[in-house]
Every structure is written in structure tokens, then in C-alpha cells.
Amino acid sequence: MPAGGIDLFKLRGIRIGVDLSWFLVLFLIIFSLSGYYRDVLGADQDAIEPYGLALASALLFFGSILLHELGHAFVAIRRGIGIDGITLWMFGGVARLQRDSDSAGTEFKIAVAGPLVTAAIVVVCVLAGIALSGAEEFRDSAVYDEATGASGLEAMIAWLASINFLVLVFNLVPAFPLDGGRIARAIAWWRTGNRSKATRFAATLGRGFAYILIAGGIYLFLIGDVVGGLWLALIGFILNAAAKGAVAQLAVTDRIEGVSVSDVMDRQPVAIPDRFGVEQALDEFFLRYGYPWFPVIDPEARFIGLLDRATAEQVPAVERATTTVGELLARDEGSLTISDDAPLETVLGNEALRRLGALMAIDREGRLSGVITANAVGRALRTPPRTAGGI
């Protein structure tokens, strides 16, 4: 499942982005729905309204997927689990949690939050549709009956209700990593008290469901539904890979269970005070140590950002003595930092760690207490849990 994509905006500190595959699905939805709305409205081929309704439907659908993922994200944040971001892609959306749940109860609450949001969207759409067109006409519109005489707005609401209902039903299938599989994992975790066994159980369900989808796709392909068969089989392959990946990830997290950032970080980081001049920083830090960047701290030792050599050298020579390091920095919004008491699991897959090769560990007051590097994380993953501390 995608982890990157194109950034769109941030919502309460959560990065929202789209994968390139999202644009393909957006086009396919608009293409298919424009014909449907043209038939509902009895419009000509050149009419603009069907395309407008199709575009609005596609955007509202992806908006509902985003709300679904935000449901997961907000509950996770309330339970103390950070969110790296949400990415919309060809099969819906992914909210990337920084670490796994710490209890069966937390896992259940996070897993069920998304379906509850989708269920609420379905209810709102149904009530709005019935209020506009009546129960019988709305029911006919929801099953794509083009002869109902419904308006464009009524047909769009009916489509949104039906597609979100399908999303809800599909997500509640007890197959990991779908929400239903995560709910099954939470229940198994609660019953057995063992996260590893519960994850393997849920992943087995997920792979079984994936094989059913693949078999169904092959069947559709053989009877002539080429597009439907390939699509269904592709979903099956992706779910199977995700379930296998969850088991592999479990082996990693089990290995570093109980290890925190403070156990593996460098506790004596070299940092530049923000009041230093650029010339002094170049002489005493970049030339002396040869590092490409250094953390910068304020007088209270709070981390405020990174200074790289290229930025420092861009300052004209005649201005380096009077320009302070602090003047060159854009204040860090937290993307480069991690709490020093956070579980080491939190840094796995961190985009800033991959890009920079390190993260700044800070204490509860925001003071720089260490630097954790990708190499240190790698050593921790290769070290048995009982001796991982103190690297």
C-alpha cells in the first residue's frame, strides 16, 4: 500500500496526500458515472451537467474515504499513537500509524472508528435522499434504476449512499488488513492475550479471503468479464501481500518490543546554538566535524531546526559574521523530531529518517536530548531484544 504520493494539505497536523493511482480511479469514476447521469437526466452527449455531477460524485466519494481514514487517525491520536499521514489511492485510503496498538482495546477502537464514520455517511445520505424524493424513488435510484425520473442531485445522493454502503460491507469482512480483519484481530488479542497469535490469525483470514477474490477474478475472466476479473484478482493479490507484510512487520516489532528511542540514541549530540554567527558555525562545526548538517538549539537547549552546510555557505562572506544561525532557519514543525521516551517501533518507516538518516530526540520540554540514526535503528533490529538497550 502506498506511503508517499502528492501532498495536498494538512489537517490538524496530519499530512493528506494522493497516490498517482488515485487519478486513474478518479478518471474511471467520472467516465462511468457521466453516462449514468446522462441517462438519468435524458441529456444529450454534449451536455455539461452529467460530467459536473460525475466529477462532484467522485470528489465526494473520495471525501467520504478521507473521513473514514480520519476516523481511524483521530482515535489513534487520542490513544497516543502518532499518524505519519493519510494517502488516498486506487483502492481507497490508508492512514499510516507510527506504531502498533498497545492493547486489544486500543486496536478495536481504532479499527471500528472508520466503519462507524462510513455508516454515519450512509445514514445521512439515506435520510437526505428520502427527504428529497421519497423512500420508494430513492430506493430505485440507489440500485441505478435510470427510469426513476430522479433529479441529478437525488441520483448523486443515492449513488453516494450505495457506494459507501458497499465500502462499509467490504471493509467489515473479517480479513486482515481490512477493518473487519483488524476487529477480528482485536477480539482474538483480547481472548488470547497474545498480540502475535492474534495478528497471525487475522493475517491467515486475510490471505484466505484474498485467495477467494483471486479465484473469483479468474472465474470472471474465463466467462468473459475481463476487466472485472482482472480488477477482482488485483485486489486479491494486494490483500494477500498486505497480510504477508503484516506478519513480517510483526517479526520486526516483536524483536524490538520494550526498546525505546532513548535506548539507541546518541546521548551527546553536537548542536549549534542559534545565537552563533554563520562564520563561527562554519569554522567550529562544519570544518571541524565535517558533517553535512547540525541540529540547532535555543538558549534553553530546545531544538529549533537543522542547519546544513549549503545553506550556511549561501550567506555572502561579508555578512557571515553578523548573520546568526537562528536567522537562517525555518522553525521545525515536528517532522524531524521524536520523543526520547517513544517506543523504537515508532521510527520504523519514518519518512524523515529515511530521507535525512537521523531524527532529533527531544524530551517533554522540547530540549534536544539525543540523535537517533538509521544505523542505530538497524543495529537494534539485528540485536536480540534482551541486549538491544544501551546501543
Q: Which residue has the higher pLDDT, 93 or 391?
A: 93
pLDDT of residue 50: 85
pTM of this prediction?
Answer: 0.74
Distance CA 34, CA 40 (A): 10
Which pLDDT score, from 0 to 100, does residue 145 have?
52
Min mean pLDDT across 13-17, 137-141, 173-177 is at 137-141
Question: What does the pLDDT read at residue 212?
Answer: 92
d(CA 148, CA 126): 16
Hey, how many other C-beta atoms are within 10 angstroms of the C-beta on 131?
11
Supply the mean pLDDT for the chain.
Answer: 84
Position with higher pLDDT, 72 vs 226: 72
pLDDT of residue 111: 94
pLDDT tens digits along 339-375? 888 888 878 777 778 888 899 999 988 899 999 998 8
Question: Across residues 192-207, what is the average pLDDT?
Answer: 88
Please tell me the predicted confidence (pLDDT) of residue 386.
44
DSSP 8-state code for residue 145: -
pLDDT band of 378, cuts 50, 70, 90? confident
> Rounded to a whole number, what is the largest CA-CA distance in the chain?
79
Instruction: Find the mean pLDDT for residues 30-40.
Output: 83
Instruction: Please list the residues that pair with 7 across neighbouring strands.
Output: 17
| pLDDT score at 388 | 38
Per-residue pLDDT, averaged over 374-390, amounts to 66
Residue 143 has pLDDT above 90, yes or no: no
Least confident residue range of 28-32, 297-301, 309-313: 28-32
- Per-residue confidence (pLDDT) for residue 98, from 0 to 100: 77
Residue 358 φ then ψ, to 5°: -165, 160
- In the structure, what pLDDT confidence band is assigned to residue 391 with cuts at 50, 70 and 90? very low
Strands 92-97 and 83-89: antiparallel
Confidence of residue 381 (pLDDT cuts 50, 70, 90): confident
Highest mean pLDDT out of 1-15, 89-103, 285-299, 324-338:
285-299
- Contacts of 230-239 spanning 24+ positions with Cβ under 8 A: 235/91, 236/210, 236/211, 236/212, 237/210, 238/1, 238/91, 239/175, 239/177, 239/178, 239/206, 239/207, 239/209, 239/210, 239/213
> What is the rounded CA–CA span in Å between residue 155 and residue 341?
52
Give the whole-angstrom CA distance, residue 259 versus residue 247.
20
CA dihedral 125, 129, 135, 136 (to 10 degrees): -110
